[in-house]
Amino acid sequence: MSDPGQTPELFLDVRGIRKRFGDYDVLAGVDLLVPRGSVVTVLGKSGTGKSVFLKCLAGLVTPDAGEIRFDGRALDAANAASRAEFRRRCSYLFQSNALFDSLTVLENVALPLEQTTQVPNAEIRTRCLEALRQLELERFRDQHPGQLSGGMLKRVALARAIVTRPELVLFDEPTAGLDPLRRNAVFEMVAKYQRQFGFTAVLVTHDVPEALAVSDRVALLDGGQMRFQGTPGAFAASEDPAVRAFRDSAGALRDTIAALRRGETVLSEDNL
């Protein structure tokens, strides 16, 4: 997390991003401000377009409208040079990890260096081993993904993401499918290595308590727009109805279950 005593410069500035699929506006004018060196988390219910938004940032999906400025420069799809520079300075950690089962851990981590740089093979091996050592994975370098636990797979995916020494890392639902203990471990990993390596991080997730613990700023995507942007403290105190409905859902569930046990009819399908 960034130093609260400083005001970091803006690293990523997203304005008015729109994306429609068929007749459905997934993103209807989304803004996001990301200070350099910070951890920014985009929260939202499943199906609200969080991953689509992140893919728009990464250039994996082309927005229908809007502007993305990275380190002061507009990322124009027609400007090959600006996009190439962004890809060089950015990494993307996929929700599914996207590791190749037929490759060893070391070979998986080496892929981005082999495919996108002219780094000599000897240096590639050195950098990959260093990334694995820093993530406490060096002794698993010759194993395959199928031999590792879910938490270890996340660390391998992170090692591959940081081996290019990126300035920005985009995390797409990094805790999807993990149990609570492993979910906590992944958020701890993000916080630890973001501080260690100094990259700027943008995460999308629906895990509220963990996100509030590790983030410098949080945003809530709801109805195709950002309903909130601010500090975790401001999010926790917000009285905005959309924020309260999402943030306080666990408490609402407890109240609903208590009412059901009293024999009251309170079932609602509004959030299904």
In a domain, 250, yes or no: no
Residue 260: predicted pLDDT:
54
Spans of the chain below 70 pLDDT: 1-8, 249-272
In a domain, 260, yes or no: no
In a domain, 187, yes or no: yes
The two structure tokens encoding residue 141? 């370098």
Residue 199: predicted pLDDT:
93
Residue 217: predicted pLDDT:
96
Helices (H), 202-247: 208-214, 232-237, 241-247
How many residues in total does the chain contain?
Answer: 272
In a domain, 1, yes or no: no
Q: What is the mean pLDDT of the chain?
A: 86
Q: Partners of 17 in the beta sheet?
A: 30
- Max Cα separation, the chain? 70
In a domain, 4, yes or no: no
Residue 269: predicted pLDDT:
46
C-beta contacts of 93-97 below 8 A and 24+ residues apart: 93/157, 93/158, 93/161, 93/169, 93/170, 93/171, 93/172, 93/174, 94/157, 94/172, 95/51, 95/172, 95/173, 95/174, 95/176, 96/176, 97/145, 97/153, 97/154, 97/156, 97/157
In a domain, 199, yes or no: yes
Residue 168: predicted pLDDT:
96
Amino acid at 222: D
Task: State which residues form the domain around 233.
Answer: 10-238
CATH of the domain at 89: 3.40.50.300
Residue 253: predicted pLDDT:
45
In a domain, 59, yes or no: yes
Residue 36: predicted pLDDT:
95
Q: Which residues contact 248 (CB under 8 A, 6 or more apart)?
A: none
Q: The whole model's pTM is what?
A: 0.82
In a domain, 249, yes or no: no
If one counts the domains in the chain, the total is 1
